[in-house]
Chains A and B, each alone.
Chain A
């Protein structure tokens, strides 16, 4: 979809982007304040909570830290509302297009056993106003207003390329039956379809508005995806029904036990010789203490309730415990802050 926003919506999102990019000056000042306090990655507390306290005490007088917090608070609590407002302004003009894109080869099925997960009850991931089901078109709003126009600009324009690039790390190029856990609005699904054009693609998500956007993305291109409203850790799909299972930037939104559940379910869903690829943010163990402090603190304020417990996991150990072989994890070599975990299921 290539939506044209009205002037107010466009200018509001432009402001969000510029405000976020304008944080660079405050970030540089904060780095200087940290150095002035004599703190660096080598002398910070080992314990994460103690490290948070240590830094708060050392930086209590940092003007830059408070300004960053203020801008972060405003951006995280307003971006969802701005996106919704921008959508409502053009809604009458695109209503027919939305209805048309609900028709086509890609359809959505609600799994009979599905119940919304407790771990997302009353949780607004990223502090997105209303949460993923907080607006009937939250998927479109998040994808078209926030992801394409705001986050992509904030991350230098490469977030869509990364969703395709990570797949180059896989051991085979001939996957035919692919399942994605946590389809969201379908950006990574599109990367899978592009990388493996001959494959039948299926996926699940717990949010209907998100899957409805993925459905539009697929139908617009004439693609036939099978989309299920289901939890990734409990799909109830048949054993050994796929040769590749993938997820992208999802694990950190899930509690630790659900992270494990995703790997376990991936192993069950894979046929012998198949592979799993889970891409997420780097774990705490792969980053220095100062970097983990920045992300840990940001997550606590930015609607990332499971960031720490997920980030403390060792995905390679989990994958091995679930039965995968040839397990490896590494930072995506083409750039971005992505951590790729790949495992294979032994051939029969």
Chain B
């Protein structure tokens, strides 16, 4: 027997989901903005061609990991925050 289809989120989590989508959109915009800035800088220095082949070293890999963890933490907060009368 196949696994029966069953709801995952409850109706009261819909608001969290909507807020999380906007948080993701904001993060996406920050990255998109940064990407355009970085590409403009790289183009100025003639380095744009190296973007796709670049491999992060240990320091950059650690920084990416830390940023990624914060990214996920913020996403989880948006999903899990209980509605509050303040903010």
- Report which A residues bind B (CB closer than 8 A): 7-8, 10-12, 14-16, 18-19, 70-71, 73-74, 76-78, 80-81, 122-124, 127-129, 131, 303
Which residues of chain A come closer than 8 Å to B81, judged between CB atoms?
Answer: 77
B86 touches A (CB below 8 Å):
yes
**Told that A8-B30, A70-B19, A122-B86 touch, could you supply 5 new A-B pairs with CB distance under 8 A?**
A11-B29, A11-B30, A15-B29, A70-B22, A129-B87
* Nearest opposing residue in chain B for A127, CB measure: B87
Give the bracket for the number of chain B residues in contact with chain A: 10 to 19
The 4 closest A-B pairs by CB, nearest first: A127-B87, A11-B33, A124-B86, A77-B87
Which residues of chain A come closer than 8 Å to B19, judged between CB atoms?
Answer: 70, 73-74, 77
Partner pick for A7 among B22, B23, B33, CB 8 A cutoff: B33
Which residues of chain B come closer than 8 Å to A124, judged between CB atoms?
Answer: 86-87
A70 and B18 within 8 A (CB):
yes
Which residues of chain B come closer than 8 Å to A16, judged between CB atoms?
Answer: 26
Chain A at the B interface: SS class:
helix
B23 and A74 within 8 A (CB):
yes
Chain B nearest Cβ from A34, distance in angstroms: 22
Which residues of chain B come closer than 8 Å to A129, judged between CB atoms?
Answer: 87
Docked complex Cα distance between A128 and B37 (Å): 30
CB pairs A–B below 8 angstroms (14 shown): A7-B34, A11-B33, A12-B26, A14-B33, A15-B26, A18-B29, A19-B26, A70-B19, A74-B22, A77-B19, A77-B81, A77-B87, A124-B87, A303-B87
Q: With A70-B22, A71-B22, A77-B87 in contact, is A15–B30 under 8 Å at CB?
A: yes
Segment 23-37 of B: residues with Cβ below 8 Å from A: 23, 25-26, 29-30, 33-34, 37
Most central of A8, A15, A71 by chain B CB within 10 Å: A15
A7 and B29 within 8 A (CB):
no
Which residues of chain B come closer than 8 Å to A74, judged between CB atoms?
Answer: 18-19, 22-23
B15 touches A (CB below 8 Å):
yes
Docked complex Cα distance between A128 and B33 (Å): 25
Chain B at the A interface: SS class:
helix
B15 and A7 within 8 A (CB):
no
Segment 1-21 of B: residues with Cβ below 8 Å from A: 15, 18-19
Docked complex Cα distance between A122 and B32 (Å): 37
Which residues of chain A come closer than 8 Å to B86, judged between CB atoms?
Answer: 122-124, 127, 131, 303
Which residues of chain A come closer than 8 Å to B29, judged between CB atoms?
Answer: 11, 14-15, 18
* Nearest opposing residue in chain B for A300, CB measure: B85
Partner pick for B23 among A11, A18, A78, A80, CB 8 A cutoff: A78
Docked complex Cα distance between A77 and B25 (Å): 16
* Nearest opposing residue in chain A for B20, CB measure: A74
Docked complex Cα distance between A74 and B78 (Å): 9
Docked complex Cα distance between A22 and B25 (Å): 13
* Nearest opposing residue in chain A for B33, CB measure: A11
Which residues of chain A come closer than 8 Å to B87, judged between CB atoms?
Answer: 76-77, 80-81, 124, 127-129, 303
Which residues of chain B come closer than 8 Å to A7, judged between CB atoms?
Answer: 30, 33-34, 37
